[in-house]
Structure 1
């Protein structure tokens, strides 16, 4: 005989998961979480599977995925399929973006080093100039 757990109040889910109630409500609004109903007092109830979904959401966010992307993955999962192909494609795109950002940051780093290396700029004294280090670039 399979014993089904009683749905949990949103406060209990928040306490056990460490995720604020406000965030859980927001995730529900976005369609990332589904309630198991509400109490007579209007409090949201969640099944135990909410913890797996919250863990997935947190991990995916830590990997740089947007809530929109995460919702897509969860929708695929809810249809009975594994979203792994979509996740891999998204991760590949994230790597490309990270490489692009690293390249842009390297260029910025070189520019900052160049500006700091030019000592004679500070000797200029003009009332029209706020800071020659930045304005000369």
Structure 2
């Protein structure tokens, strides 16, 4: 048994499949994040599999959290660049979150306008309109 234990060297990193299983992030997404520079691999295994450090899991949780708050991958990448340079990206995140609120407010205004337009269309809706040459649906007033 001692021989078996000696042959089982600890892996220098976690294979991409193991990281996917532990983090709940699909392998395809992990590859994409690596390609974008969001998730650096530490190398490759003898079999050619990407290897990642243990701290990739909290990094993925950070990415997931910022995505859930509506930040783009580009914005997340800039936060991670600050972190990777040894600084805390809290100020940058604060600015981005304020910008996100502004985008949400603008989108809400657009949605209110769209809702009003839809209500206006439905208020004048005819269930059996008269056919008009070349008009697909007279109710839409195109």
Counterpart contact for 1:35–1:44, Cα < 8 Å: yes
Question: Is the partner of 1:45 in helix, strand or coil?
Answer: strand
The answer for the alignment partner of 1:46 in structure 2 is: 52
Count of residue pairs brought into register by the alignment:
133
Unaligned residue ranges in structure 1 (runs of 5+): none
Q: Distance in 1 between matches of 2:126 and 2:12?
A: 73
Q: Deviations over 1:14-45 (max 9, x none)?
A: 11111111111110110011112111111111
Unaligned residue ranges in structure 2 (runs of 5+): 1-9
The answer for the alignment partner of 1:91 in structure 2 is: 97
**TM value normalised by structure 1:** 0.89
Tell me if 1:76 matches 2:85: no
Counterpart contact for 1:17–1:51, Cα < 8 Å: yes
Q: Distance in 1 between matches of 2:43 and 2:95?
A: 35
Root-mean-square deviation (Å): 1.8
**TM value normalised by structure 2:** 0.86
The answer for the alignment partner of 2:22 in structure 1 is: 16
Q: Distance in 1 between matches of 2:113 and 2:128?
A: 23
Q: Distance in 2 between matches of 1:119 and 1:33?
A: 52
Tell me if 1:35 matches 2:41: yes
Tell me if 1:105 matches 2:99: no
In the superposition, relative to structure 1, how do residues 29 and 114 fare at CA in structure 2: closer, same or farther (>3 Å)? same
